[in-house]
A and B are shown apart, each in its own frame.
Chain A
Amino acid sequence: MAEYKILHIYSDLLDLYGDYTNVTAVRRALEQMGHSCSVVTAQLGEEIAPAGYDLVYIGHGKPKNLAAAAGHFRQYAAAVTAAVEGGGVFFITGNARLLFGKTFETPDGREEQGIGLFDYHGRETGKVFTGDVVSRPMFDEQIACYGFINRTAHIIGENRYPLFRVLKGPGDNEGTGETEGTLYKNLFATWQMGPLLPRNPELLRELLRRITGENYAEIDLSLQERALAITLAEFKNLEL
């Protein structure tokens, strides 16, 4: 039995549509493996020190809230960058991705700086875009994942480390036959939002492998697998 620690950054500020359950899913899975797991939060105004955590999570938030986070998050750019470069496991959903890029536009037309770990920029459209996404993760292109996108901004600039090859739904650059998200070292980031890990058992397993290393053990996710299979089967014109 090992002890694991999760850092959930901005759990109050960036908190939309059940994103918190990605943390719950990891915690439950670790407990299922027989390990213990604790979750620590860091809110706006508090110090962000990702070193020493087994998983760092940031979720999707309202665009105004994200803009409010940017200045604070930048103060910890060095610590966050060092943690990512050092192989720390990160899971980032929704617009929280923009905090890791160069710049992004806010709803009131300002430009905020990200920590510049990646080269992309966020462009605010002011229009809500929602839709189903079916994709294959780069770490295993045999797998299909289901997710949902709800965003008012999108990413422009080169995405050198994509996480998903998109079969249905929009990629990072709004075209077709595209890629989406970021997988860089052990940082997973995607525009897809909500309960991504509860709904995608293989994505959860990959994350758990990276978190636990040699402590990894197989767990029963058959209910999740069946639910995903039913969902994917509804995309009748996709060969999955």
Chain B
Amino acid sequence: MRFVLAILIGKLVRFAGRFVGRSTTLPGQIALKMDSTLLKKMKFDGKVIAVTGSNGKTTTSNLVAHILRENGHTVINNTEGSNLAAGVATTLLEHCTLGGRLHSDFVVLEVDERFTPIVFSQIPLDIFLVNNLLRDQVVRNGNPDIILEKISQAVPHARQLVLNANDPISQQLGDGREFVTFGMARTGRSTEECLHLTHDAKVCPRCFGKLNYDFFHYNHIGQFCCPACGYHTPQPDYLAEQVDFESGRFTINTLPAQVNYTTPFHFMNTTAAVAVCCTAGLPLEGAIRGAATFQVSRERYDEFDVDGRKAVLMLTKQNPVSLDQNIAFVLTQESPKTVALYVNNVIYTDDKDISWLYDVSFERLVGEADYIVCSGSRAYDLAVRLELAGFDRGRMIIEDDNKKLREAMKRSQGTIYVLAASAFGDEDGILEVLR
């Protein structure tokens, strides 16, 4: 009875929340408080698929849901703002019957790494995809081993596990059990040396000897081999090859595939999503066809005009890998260009730590960006970091007062790339003055 009541109240709060705009986690929070065993009592008619990992969770889980729908299946899935336990509960509450039953063919859940054990000790888990594991911001995650340990507690609950053949860290989750792998062959953008400062597998995670790489896709993701213990990239079950960054065409297990957003990261995410859908029973051809029509969400990307100049806003998470990817995008754009960085204190804790900025490869922008703007509450710390990266003081515009930013920006030239590393909504500070 308590269960039904919790569902009912949760649904009501969810309904009411639509009008006050606070509905992504509150209904779940309230319902879980009324019945802490709520998740355990939910009944699933279809399969549950979970996506976790350090980067690309949202895109990949949306991709999985899209592919399944394109293949005629009914799917319930959550959104980025609701990937903690209460958010997952909110999503399920919205779609379940009063008896707690979910009728869809699939439930696809993006779940924050830290919350995977708590969620999947309660919800049945058919297919579990771990995309990658890279260092996140220190305040959030401590270190990658801690996250690995957290996810490993969820792994025994998964009937099938899908892992990244190119990631030596997260692949350890498959130790002692069967798993499916996805990976990508060398591309035109693969490098012999790691392009990024953030490289979490300089040593082998098994024996701590130096880990060798044939090539890198990004950060520590690539084709690796340990000369000491033999740990190496396996032959992936789902392999992306023949990647063409111009057209977006590539192949998965030799069948032609297509993406409309051409970064190494996105080709891999797409291959991961196809691997998951095939593991769920879709034919490879159907999964690839479904993936081809997926549009990458532009929420994190926006174009506008600043005093007659084109400006591009890219929201980035407060972690080095996310910012590195935005820098990679800026590098592909034409000169002249100005990179405006907006960095505040650590989200939620307000800590003044900016050590993660020292793991971002700003060095790659030296000689590429005509001007670099340091803004946000940590503008001066950012400037110290950029000077260490090799930027000339004359190329840096430092302004920690948002009100003066627009004026200061006039000293720069070219298209402005605003890289805002902040919480959702927190970028308003910079947008207000620029728009």
Q: How far is the CB of A232 from chain B (nearest CB, A)?
A: 9
- Say yes or no: is B336 at the interface (Cβ < 8 Å to chain A): no
B353 proximity list for chain A (CB < 8 A)? 130, 132, 148, 194
- Say yes or no: is A54 at the interface (Cβ < 8 Å to chain B): no
Binds A, one of B17-25, B308-316, B383-391, B403-411: B383-391
A192 CA / B145 CA spacing, docked (Å): 19
Within 8 A of A (CB), among B318-356: 345, 349, 351-356
Closest A residue to B142 by beta carbon equals: A128
A152 proximity list for chain B (CB < 8 A)? 142, 146
Q: Of residues A43, A65, A199, A227, which shows the largest number of chain B Cβ atoms within 10 Å of its Cβ?
A: A227
Within 8 A of A (CB), among B365-417: 377, 380-381, 383-385, 387-388, 393, 400
B356 proximity list for chain A (CB < 8 A)? 17-18
Known: A130-B351, A148-B351, A231-B352. Is A12-B358 also a contact (CB below 8 A)?
Answer: no
A21 CA / B377 CA spacing, docked (Å): 22
A227 proximity list for chain B (CB < 8 A)? 380-381, 383-384
Are B145 and A63 in contact, CB atoms less than 8 angstroms apart? yes
Are A199 and B381 in contact, CB atoms less than 8 angstroms apart? yes
- Say yes or no: is A226 at the interface (Cβ < 8 Å to chain B): yes
Are A148 and B383 in contact, CB atoms less than 8 angstroms apart? no
Within the complex, which residue of B144, B146, B358, B380 is in contact with A230, where a contact is CB–CB below 8 Å? B380
Chain A 32-73 near chain B by CB (<8 Å), digits 1 or 0: 000000000001110000000000000000111100100000
Are B208 and A223 in contact, CB atoms less than 8 angstroms apart? no
- Say yes or no: is B284 at the interface (Cβ < 8 Å to chain A): no
Are B138 and A223 in contact, CB atoms less than 8 angstroms apart? no
A43 CA / B359 CA spacing, docked (Å): 20
- Say yes or no: is A198 at the interface (Cβ < 8 Å to chain B): yes
- Say yes or no: is A159 at the interface (Cβ < 8 Å to chain B): no
Known: A13-B208, A130-B139. Is A148-B355 also a contact (CB below 8 A)?
Answer: yes
A15 proximity list for chain B (CB < 8 A)? 199, 202
Main SS class of interface, A = mixed
Q: How far is the CB of A238 from chain B (nearest CB, A)?
A: 13
- Say yes or no: is B300 at the interface (Cβ < 8 Å to chain A): no
Q: How far is the CB of B170 from chain A (nearest CB, A)?
A: 15
Are A18 and B359 in contact, CB atoms less than 8 angstroms apart? yes
Q: How far is the CB of A12 from chain B (nearest CB, A)?
A: 4
B208 proximity list for chain A (CB < 8 A)? 13, 44, 65, 68
- Say yes or no: is A195 at the interface (Cβ < 8 Å to chain B): yes
Are B380 and A223 in contact, CB atoms less than 8 angstroms apart? yes
Are A62 and B388 in contact, CB atoms less than 8 angstroms apart? no
Are A146 and B383 in contact, CB atoms less than 8 angstroms apart? no
Q: How far is the CB of B215 from chain A (nearest CB, A)?
A: 19
Chain B 127-149 near chain A by CB (<8 Å), digits 1 or 0: 00000000100110111111000
- Say yes or no: is A77 at the interface (Cβ < 8 Å to chain B): no
Known: A18-B359, A28-B388, A194-B355. Is A130-B138 also a contact (CB below 8 A)?
Answer: yes
- Say yes or no: is A131 at the interface (Cβ < 8 Å to chain B): yes
Are A12 and B203 in contact, CB atoms less than 8 angstroms apart? yes
A195 proximity list for chain B (CB < 8 A)? 354-355, 358, 385
Known: A12-B203, A18-B357. Is A128-B146 also a contact (CB below 8 A)?
Answer: yes
Extra 10 A-B pairs, beta carbons < 8 Å, given A13-B203, A195-B385, A198-B385: A43-B210, A44-B203, A62-B144, A65-B203, A68-B208, A130-B138, A132-B353, A148-B351, A152-B142, A223-B384
Residues on A close to B: CB < 8 A? Answer: 12-13, 15-18, 20-21, 24-25, 28, 43-45, 62-65, 68, 107, 128, 130-132, 146, 148, 150, 152, 193-195, 198-199, 223-224, 226-227, 230-231, 234
Residues on B close to A: CB < 8 A? Answer: 135, 138-139, 141-146, 197, 199, 202-203, 208-210, 345, 349, 351-359, 377, 380-381, 383-385, 387-388, 393, 400
Chain A to chain B: the 3 pairs with minimum beta-carbon distance, closest first: A18-B358, A194-B355, A128-B142
